Amino acid sequence: MDAQDKPKELQHFLDHVAIKRKQIKDYTDEIAPRGAFLTKVSLVSSIIASVLAGIPTAIGGSGLTALLGEAGEDLASWRIIGAAVTFFSCVAALATGIFRSDEIATRLAKAHRCDAQLEAIELDVECQQVPLKEAIVRFGQCISEVEFLPSYPTRPSRWRRLFGKYPMLDGVVGTINLNDGSVVPSNCIVTGTAAGLQPGLHLWLAVEVGASMWPKEGEVAVQADGTWTKSIFEEGDTDEFALSLYVLDSAADRLLRNWFKQSDREGHYRALHRTEMVSGGMLRLARVEHLHRVIDHHVGTPARKGQTTS
Protein backbone atom coordinates (compact mmCIF):
# COMPACT_ATOMS: atom_id res chain seq x y z
CA MET A 1 0.00 0.00 0.00
CA ASP A 2 1.19 3.48 -0.85
CA ALA A 3 2.05 5.64 2.13
CA GLN A 4 -0.26 8.32 0.71
CA ASP A 5 -3.30 6.03 0.75
CA LYS A 6 -5.76 7.20 3.37
CA PRO A 7 -7.91 4.77 5.39
CA LYS A 8 -11.07 6.65 4.36
CA GLU A 9 -10.22 6.36 0.65
CA LEU A 10 -9.32 2.69 1.02
CA GLN A 11 -12.59 1.94 2.80
CA HIS A 12 -14.54 3.85 0.14
CA PHE A 13 -12.88 1.73 -2.55
CA LEU A 14 -13.56 -1.51 -0.68
CA ASP A 15 -17.20 -0.50 -0.27
CA HIS A 16 -17.51 -0.07 -4.04
CA VAL A 17 -15.87 -3.45 -4.62
CA ALA A 18 -18.35 -5.03 -2.22
CA ILE A 19 -21.28 -3.38 -4.01
CA LYS A 20 -20.08 -4.57 -7.42
CA ARG A 21 -19.55 -8.13 -6.14
CA LYS A 22 -23.07 -8.06 -4.70
CA GLN A 23 -24.41 -6.93 -8.08
CA ILE A 24 -22.59 -9.80 -9.77
CA LYS A 25 -23.96 -12.30 -7.26
CA ASP A 26 -27.51 -11.02 -7.74
CA TYR A 27 -27.08 -11.27 -11.52
CA THR A 28 -25.70 -14.81 -11.50
CA ASP A 29 -28.39 -15.90 -9.03
CA GLU A 30 -30.90 -14.49 -11.52
CA ILE A 31 -29.72 -16.00 -14.80
CA ALA A 32 -28.12 -19.28 -13.68
CA PRO A 33 -31.49 -20.94 -12.80
CA ARG A 34 -32.97 -19.64 -16.05
CA GLY A 35 -30.08 -21.08 -18.04
CA ALA A 36 -30.39 -24.43 -16.27
CA PHE A 37 -34.15 -24.45 -16.93
CA LEU A 38 -33.74 -23.71 -20.64
CA THR A 39 -31.07 -26.40 -20.95
CA LYS A 40 -33.29 -29.00 -19.30
CA VAL A 41 -36.30 -28.03 -21.43
CA SER A 42 -34.25 -28.32 -24.61
CA LEU A 43 -32.79 -31.68 -23.60
CA VAL A 44 -36.06 -33.24 -22.43
CA SER A 45 -38.02 -31.95 -25.44
CA SER A 46 -35.40 -33.31 -27.84
CA ILE A 47 -35.53 -36.73 -26.18
CA ILE A 48 -39.35 -36.81 -26.26
CA ALA A 49 -39.40 -35.79 -29.93
CA SER A 50 -36.88 -38.52 -30.80
CA VAL A 51 -38.82 -41.15 -28.85
CA LEU A 52 -42.13 -40.19 -30.50
CA ALA A 53 -40.55 -40.25 -33.94
CA GLY A 54 -39.09 -43.70 -33.33
CA ILE A 55 -42.12 -45.29 -31.66
CA PRO A 56 -43.87 -46.61 -34.80
CA THR A 57 -40.89 -48.41 -36.29
CA ALA A 58 -37.68 -48.58 -34.30
CA ILE A 59 -39.30 -48.93 -30.88
CA GLY A 60 -42.78 -50.40 -31.42
CA GLY A 61 -41.88 -52.72 -34.27
CA SER A 62 -44.31 -54.27 -36.70
CA GLY A 63 -46.91 -54.87 -33.98
CA LEU A 64 -47.29 -51.20 -33.11
CA THR A 65 -47.10 -50.22 -36.78
CA ALA A 66 -49.98 -52.56 -37.58
CA LEU A 67 -51.98 -51.17 -34.66
CA LEU A 68 -51.50 -47.60 -35.83
CA GLY A 69 -52.31 -48.51 -39.41
CA GLU A 70 -50.56 -47.51 -42.59
CA ALA A 71 -48.89 -44.13 -42.43
CA GLY A 72 -50.97 -41.46 -44.01
CA GLU A 73 -52.30 -38.01 -43.42
CA ASP A 74 -55.86 -39.28 -43.02
CA LEU A 75 -55.07 -41.47 -40.01
CA ALA A 76 -55.58 -39.65 -36.68
CA SER A 77 -52.99 -41.76 -34.83
CA TRP A 78 -50.19 -40.83 -37.22
CA ARG A 79 -51.27 -37.19 -37.32
CA ILE A 80 -51.20 -36.98 -33.50
CA ILE A 81 -47.72 -38.49 -33.35
CA GLY A 82 -46.48 -36.16 -36.09
CA ALA A 83 -47.94 -33.12 -34.32
CA ALA A 84 -46.34 -34.15 -31.02
CA VAL A 85 -42.94 -34.63 -32.68
CA THR A 86 -43.22 -31.21 -34.31
CA PHE A 87 -44.31 -29.55 -31.05
CA PHE A 88 -41.48 -30.93 -28.92
CA SER A 89 -38.92 -30.26 -31.66
CA CYS A 90 -40.06 -26.63 -31.75
CA VAL A 91 -39.89 -26.35 -27.96
CA ALA A 92 -36.34 -27.72 -27.97
CA ALA A 93 -35.28 -25.34 -30.75
CA LEU A 94 -36.92 -22.36 -28.98
CA ALA A 95 -35.25 -23.10 -25.63
CA THR A 96 -31.87 -23.51 -27.32
CA GLY A 97 -32.37 -20.30 -29.29
CA ILE A 98 -33.24 -18.27 -26.18
CA PHE A 99 -30.25 -19.70 -24.31
CA ARG A 100 -27.90 -18.73 -27.14
CA SER A 101 -29.43 -15.34 -27.92
CA ASP A 102 -29.23 -14.27 -24.28
CA GLU A 103 -25.58 -15.45 -24.16
CA ILE A 104 -26.28 -17.01 -20.80
CA ALA A 105 -23.26 -19.32 -20.75
CA THR A 106 -20.87 -16.57 -21.90
CA ARG A 107 -22.19 -14.00 -19.47
CA LEU A 108 -22.11 -16.41 -16.55
CA ALA A 109 -18.48 -17.23 -17.30
CA LYS A 110 -17.55 -13.52 -17.50
CA ALA A 111 -19.43 -12.71 -14.30
CA HIS A 112 -17.74 -15.50 -12.33
CA ARG A 113 -14.33 -14.50 -13.69
CA CYS A 114 -14.91 -10.85 -12.78
CA ASP A 115 -16.03 -11.81 -9.27
CA ALA A 116 -12.86 -13.86 -8.77
CA GLN A 117 -10.72 -10.94 -9.96
CA LEU A 118 -12.55 -8.51 -7.67
CA GLU A 119 -11.99 -10.86 -4.75
CA ALA A 120 -8.27 -10.90 -5.54
CA ILE A 121 -8.19 -7.08 -5.76
CA GLU A 122 -10.04 -6.83 -2.46
CA LEU A 123 -7.58 -9.18 -0.78
CA ASP A 124 -4.54 -7.35 -2.20
CA VAL A 125 -5.83 -4.01 -0.89
CA GLU A 126 -6.73 -5.37 2.54
CA CYS A 127 -3.30 -7.02 2.84
CA GLN A 128 -1.61 -3.83 1.59
CA GLN A 129 -0.03 -5.61 -1.38
CA VAL A 130 -0.91 -3.00 -4.01
CA PRO A 131 -1.34 0.80 -3.92
CA LEU A 132 -4.84 2.19 -4.24
CA LYS A 133 -4.18 3.74 -7.67
CA GLU A 134 -3.18 0.38 -9.13
CA ALA A 135 -6.18 -1.30 -7.51
CA ILE A 136 -8.53 1.28 -9.06
CA VAL A 137 -7.06 0.63 -12.52
CA ARG A 138 -7.49 -3.11 -12.08
CA PHE A 139 -11.04 -2.54 -10.85
CA GLY A 140 -11.92 -0.54 -13.97
CA GLN A 141 -10.43 -3.17 -16.27
CA CYS A 142 -12.35 -5.88 -14.47
CA ILE A 143 -15.81 -4.32 -14.54
CA SER A 144 -15.44 -3.34 -18.20
CA GLU A 145 -15.91 -7.04 -18.99
CA VAL A 146 -19.34 -7.15 -17.34
CA GLU A 147 -20.98 -4.14 -18.97
CA PHE A 148 -24.13 -6.26 -19.38
CA LEU A 149 -24.87 -6.11 -15.65
CA PRO A 150 -28.22 -4.42 -14.96
CA SER A 151 -28.22 -1.00 -13.35
CA TYR A 152 -28.35 -0.86 -9.57
CA PRO A 153 -30.43 -1.77 -7.67
CA THR A 154 -31.01 -5.20 -9.19
CA ARG A 155 -34.68 -6.06 -9.40
CA PRO A 156 -35.82 -9.69 -9.68
CA SER A 157 -37.52 -10.56 -12.94
CA ARG A 158 -41.14 -11.70 -13.08
CA TRP A 159 -39.91 -15.23 -13.70
CA ARG A 160 -37.76 -15.13 -10.58
CA ARG A 161 -40.53 -13.65 -8.45
CA LEU A 162 -42.97 -16.36 -9.57
CA PHE A 163 -40.76 -19.43 -9.64
CA GLY A 164 -37.44 -18.60 -8.02
CA LYS A 165 -36.09 -17.81 -4.60
CA TYR A 166 -34.24 -14.57 -4.16
CA PRO A 167 -32.63 -13.14 -1.03
CA MET A 168 -34.67 -10.79 1.12
CA LEU A 169 -33.29 -9.41 4.39
CA ASP A 170 -30.23 -11.66 4.42
CA GLY A 171 -29.31 -10.57 0.90
CA VAL A 172 -28.82 -6.91 1.84
CA VAL A 173 -25.50 -5.38 2.95
CA GLY A 174 -24.88 -1.85 4.15
CA THR A 175 -22.37 0.45 5.80
CA ILE A 176 -22.32 3.74 7.71
CA ASN A 177 -19.43 6.10 7.00
CA LEU A 178 -18.64 6.88 10.64
CA ASN A 179 -16.08 5.53 13.06
CA ASP A 180 -16.86 4.37 16.59
CA GLY A 181 -16.30 7.24 19.01
CA SER A 182 -16.92 9.98 16.45
CA VAL A 183 -18.11 13.36 17.63
CA VAL A 184 -21.12 14.61 15.66
CA PRO A 185 -23.29 17.73 15.84
CA SER A 186 -26.99 17.63 16.64
CA ASN A 187 -27.69 18.34 12.98
CA CYS A 188 -25.55 16.31 10.63
CA ILE A 189 -25.46 14.53 7.31
CA VAL A 190 -24.65 10.83 7.46
CA THR A 191 -23.55 8.81 4.42
CA GLY A 192 -23.03 5.15 3.66
CA THR A 193 -23.50 2.37 1.13
CA ALA A 194 -26.05 -0.37 0.56
CA ALA A 195 -26.49 -3.22 -1.90
CA GLY A 196 -28.98 -5.99 -2.57
CA LEU A 197 -32.06 -3.94 -1.71
CA GLN A 198 -35.04 -5.61 -3.40
CA PRO A 199 -38.56 -4.28 -3.97
CA GLY A 200 -40.54 -4.44 -0.73
CA LEU A 201 -37.50 -3.78 1.49
CA HIS A 202 -36.79 -0.48 3.25
CA LEU A 203 -33.74 1.14 4.88
CA TRP A 204 -33.99 3.14 8.10
CA LEU A 205 -31.51 4.78 10.45
CA ALA A 206 -32.10 4.54 14.20
CA VAL A 207 -30.43 6.06 17.25
CA GLU A 208 -29.91 3.48 19.98
CA VAL A 209 -29.24 3.88 23.69
CA GLY A 210 -29.01 0.57 25.49
CA ALA A 211 -31.98 -1.60 24.48
CA SER A 212 -34.03 1.41 23.32
CA MET A 213 -34.11 2.79 19.79
CA TRP A 214 -35.49 5.91 18.12
CA PRO A 215 -35.83 5.61 14.32
CA LYS A 216 -34.92 8.77 12.44
CA GLU A 217 -37.75 10.17 10.37
CA GLY A 218 -37.63 9.49 6.66
CA GLU A 219 -36.65 6.30 4.85
CA VAL A 220 -33.07 6.08 3.57
CA ALA A 221 -32.95 6.32 -0.23
CA VAL A 222 -30.19 4.46 -2.09
CA GLN A 223 -28.76 6.08 -5.21
CA ALA A 224 -27.91 4.35 -8.48
CA ASP A 225 -24.25 3.95 -7.46
CA GLY A 226 -25.17 2.18 -4.21
CA THR A 227 -24.54 5.17 -1.91
CA TRP A 228 -26.97 6.95 0.39
CA THR A 229 -27.04 10.27 2.20
CA LYS A 230 -29.34 11.11 5.09
CA SER A 231 -29.70 14.31 7.13
CA ILE A 232 -30.57 13.55 10.76
CA PHE A 233 -31.34 15.64 13.82
CA GLU A 234 -30.54 14.20 17.26
CA GLU A 235 -31.66 16.02 20.41
CA GLY A 236 -31.76 13.19 22.94
CA ASP A 237 -31.03 13.58 26.63
CA THR A 238 -27.83 11.55 26.49
CA ASP A 239 -24.59 12.74 24.90
CA GLU A 240 -23.47 9.22 23.94
CA PHE A 241 -25.43 6.99 21.61
CA ALA A 242 -25.16 4.46 18.79
CA LEU A 243 -26.41 4.76 15.22
CA SER A 244 -27.63 1.70 13.32
CA LEU A 245 -28.73 1.02 9.76
CA TYR A 246 -31.65 -1.41 9.48
CA VAL A 247 -33.36 -3.14 6.58
CA LEU A 248 -37.07 -3.81 7.09
CA ASP A 249 -39.61 -5.83 5.17
CA SER A 250 -43.04 -4.38 4.34
CA ALA A 251 -44.64 -5.57 7.60
CA ALA A 252 -41.94 -4.02 9.81
CA ASP A 253 -42.00 -0.86 7.68
CA ARG A 254 -45.74 -0.46 8.35
CA LEU A 255 -45.19 -0.95 12.09
CA LEU A 256 -42.47 1.70 12.08
CA ARG A 257 -44.60 4.21 10.17
CA ASN A 258 -47.48 3.58 12.58
CA TRP A 259 -45.08 4.33 15.45
CA PHE A 260 -44.31 7.69 13.85
CA LYS A 261 -48.03 8.47 13.41
CA GLN A 262 -48.82 7.53 17.02
CA SER A 263 -45.86 9.54 18.32
CA ASP A 264 -47.00 12.57 16.30
CA ARG A 265 -50.49 12.32 17.81
CA GLU A 266 -49.10 11.98 21.34
CA GLY A 267 -46.50 14.70 20.85
CA HIS A 268 -43.83 12.45 22.34
CA TYR A 269 -41.46 9.98 20.68
CA ARG A 270 -41.29 7.16 23.17
CA ALA A 271 -38.49 4.60 23.05
CA LEU A 272 -39.10 1.74 20.64
CA HIS A 273 -37.86 -1.79 21.37
CA ARG A 274 -37.10 -4.46 18.80
CA THR A 275 -39.51 -6.82 20.56
CA GLU A 276 -42.31 -4.56 19.32
CA MET A 277 -41.33 -5.41 15.73
CA VAL A 278 -41.70 -9.18 16.09
CA SER A 279 -44.62 -9.32 13.65
CA GLY A 280 -42.36 -7.85 10.99
CA GLY A 281 -38.86 -8.60 9.75
CA MET A 282 -35.92 -6.32 10.45
CA LEU A 283 -32.17 -6.84 10.30
CA ARG A 284 -29.34 -4.59 11.46
CA LEU A 285 -26.83 -4.02 8.66
CA ALA A 286 -24.36 -1.72 10.40
CA ARG A 287 -23.86 -0.08 13.80
CA VAL A 288 -21.57 2.72 14.94
CA GLU A 289 -21.11 2.95 18.71
CA HIS A 290 -19.98 5.50 21.31
CA LEU A 291 -20.99 8.52 19.25
CA HIS A 292 -20.86 11.82 21.13
CA ARG A 293 -23.23 14.68 20.44
CA VAL A 294 -22.30 18.34 20.57
CA ILE A 295 -24.56 21.32 20.15
CA ASP A 296 -24.30 22.70 16.64
CA HIS A 297 -26.42 25.47 15.16
CA HIS A 298 -25.43 24.88 11.52
CA VAL A 299 -28.04 22.58 10.01
CA GLY A 300 -26.73 20.12 7.47
CA THR A 301 -23.13 19.97 8.69
CA PRO A 302 -21.57 16.69 7.56
CA ALA A 303 -20.60 14.17 10.21
CA ARG A 304 -16.95 13.29 9.75
CA LYS A 305 -15.14 10.21 10.85
CA GLY A 306 -13.34 10.71 14.15
CA GLN A 307 -13.50 14.51 13.97
CA THR A 308 -15.47 17.18 15.74
CA THR A 309 -17.72 19.05 13.34
CA SER A 310 -18.65 22.53 14.36
What CA–CA distance (Å, rounded) separates 80 from 69? 13
- pLDDT beyond 70 at 29: yes
- pLDDT beyond 70 at 164: no
pLDDT for position 245: 95
| 299 pLDDT tier (thresholds 50, 70, 90) | very low
Which string of b and e fits 149-168 if b means at least 16 CB within 10 Å?
beebbbbbeeebeeeeebee
> Stretch 162-170: mean pLDDT, rounded?
58
pLDDT for position 306: 37
What CA–CA distance (Å, rounded) separates 37 from 51? 21
pLDDT for position 192: 94
> Stretch 27-56: mean pLDDT, rounded?
85
What CA–CA distance (Å, rounded) separates 182 from 249? 30
**β pairing state of 202-209 and 282-294:** unpaired
Report the candidate in 222, 136, 106, 109 with the shortest Cα–Cα distance to residue 174: 222
Q: Please, which contacts does 126-129 make with residues 24 or more away whose CB atoms are closer than 8 Å?
A: 126/14, 128/1, 129/1
What CA–CA distance (Å, rounded) separates 169 from 106? 30
pLDDT for position 234: 72
Q: How far is CA 288 from CA 40, 55, 276, 291, in A?
A: 48, 70, 22, 7
Q: Show the DSSP H helices in 55-199 as ranges.
A: 61-68, 76-101, 104-126, 132-143, 158-163
- Of 20-29, 182-191, 271-280, 284-293, the poorest mean pLDDT is in 271-280
Which of 94-98, 273-277, 302-306 reaches the highest mean pLDDT?
A: 94-98
- pLDDT beyond 80 at 143: yes
What CA–CA distance (Å, rounded) separates 18 from 119? 9
Name which residue leads in pLDDT, 113 or 158.
Answer: 113
- pLDDT beyond 60 at 202: yes
- pLDDT beyond 50 at 167: no
pLDDT for position 239: 73
Above pLDDT 90, what percent of the chain? 29
| 21 pLDDT tier (thresholds 50, 70, 90) | confident
Neighbours of 123 (CB within 10 A): 11
- Of 27-36, 63-72, 269-278, 279-288, the poorest mean pLDDT is in 63-72
Domains of the chain, CATH where assigned: 7-146 (no CATH), 169-302 (2.60.40.10)
pLDDT for position 243: 93
Whole-number CA gyration radius for the chain: 29
Chain mean pLDDT for the chain: 79
Q: For the chain, first and last CA: distance in Å?
A: 33
**Quick check: bond before 302 cis, omega within 30?**
no
Are 197 and 153 in contact by the 8 Å Cβ rule? The answer is: yes
Using left for φ > 0, alpha for ψ between -120 and 50, and beta otherwise, residue 203 falls in beta
| 56 pLDDT tier (thresholds 50, 70, 90) | low
Which string of b and e fits 15-29 if b means at least 16 CB within 10 Å?
bbbbbbbbbbbbbbb
pLDDT for position 126: 84
Q: Judging by beta carbons within 10 Å of its beta carbon (0-12, 13-18, 19+), is residue 110 exposed, middle or buried? A: middle
